């Protein structure tokens, strides 16, 4: 996404540049593909010959939109895309919540890193290392996170160099070692005045208040000092 504001766009026009039996590739898209721990967008593609559901989106330089067999779309055809807004907005809220919780855990529990995450529309999870949460720590964590949500602090994005990021945040906090060294310019998501600052290409909301209530689901020991914490948000339950 070019900006956080662009995450709120729902419809677009595009041209088919490639097609096979089950999918099409477009010259541009608003559909977020699977990646960065975040699940894909769904929605619809419509054209003069009909309308079909987009059930899966994958790829990077060329993004495939899976719409099933016998779709009938051909190269050069114009389509209208529409994002499933409820699913997209849930992902935006969940992903921003992940940044917030990761930042709080790092500050409160001895620099514990986020070593993995999975963002879904109804529940999400974060893997932390090294840390072993007690019940009291979990209660403290989610209380602090919800306090932060109530501040409605702004969430912004910008482009920064690795050196600029490292001058603000320790590299282990931003997982800089996981990013290809060839990537010099990074899209950064920032909460408030560096409450959290992290390179990320996912979808996010404009302010913390949009997250709603964070609700703890459970925790699981994943071995070697790693603990998985699962959560949902108010309005995102099954």
Where exactly does CATH 3.30.980.10 map onto the chain? 88-233
Where exactly does CATH 2.40.30.130 map onto the chain? 5-83
pLDDT per residue rounded down to tens, the chain (238 residues): 789 999 999 999 999 999 999 999 999 999 999 999 999 999 999 999 899 999 999 998 899 999 998 899 999 999 999 999 999 999 999 999 999 999 999 999 999 999 999 999 999 999 999 999 999 999 999 999 999 999 999 999 999 999 999 999 998 889 888 888 888 899 999 999 988 999 999 999 999 999 999 999 999 999 999 999 999 999 876 5
C-beta separation of 65 from 4 below 8 A: no
Q: End-to-end alpha-carbon separation of the chain, Å? A: 27
| CATH class as words, domain 88-233 | alpha beta
What CATH number does the domain located at 5-83 have?
2.40.30.130
**How confident is the model at residue 31, as a pLDDT?**
98
């Amino acid at each position: 996404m070019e900006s956080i504001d662009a995450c709120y766009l729902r419809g677009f026009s595009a041209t088919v540049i490639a097609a096979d039996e089950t999918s099409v590739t477009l010259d541009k898209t608003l559909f977020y593909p699977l990646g960065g721990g975040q699940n894909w967008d769904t929605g619809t593609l419509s054209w003069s010959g009909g309308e079909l559901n987009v059930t899966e989106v994958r790829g990077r330089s060329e993004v495939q939109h899976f719409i099933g067999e016998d779709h009938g779309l051909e190269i050069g055809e114009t389509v209208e895309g529409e994002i499933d807004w409820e699913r997209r907005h849930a992902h935006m809220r969940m992903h921003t919540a992940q940044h917030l919780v990761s930042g709080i855990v790092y500050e409160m529990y001895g620099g514990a890193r986020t070593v993995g995450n999975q963002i879904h529309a109804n529940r999400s999870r974060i893997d932390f290392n090294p840390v072993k949460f007690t019940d009291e720590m979990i209660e403290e964590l989610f209380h602090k996170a919800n306090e932060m949500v109530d501040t409605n602090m702004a969430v912004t994005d910008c482009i920064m160099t690795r050196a600029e990021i490292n001058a603000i945040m320790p590299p282990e906090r931003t997982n800089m070692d996981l990013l290809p060294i060839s990537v010099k310019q990074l899209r950064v998501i920032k909460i408030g005045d560096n409450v959290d600052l992290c390179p990320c290409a996912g979808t996010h909301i404009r302010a913390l208040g949009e997250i709603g209530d964070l609700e703890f689901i459970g925790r699981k020991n994943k071995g070697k000092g790693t603990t998985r914490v699962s959560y949902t948000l108010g309005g995102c339950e099954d």
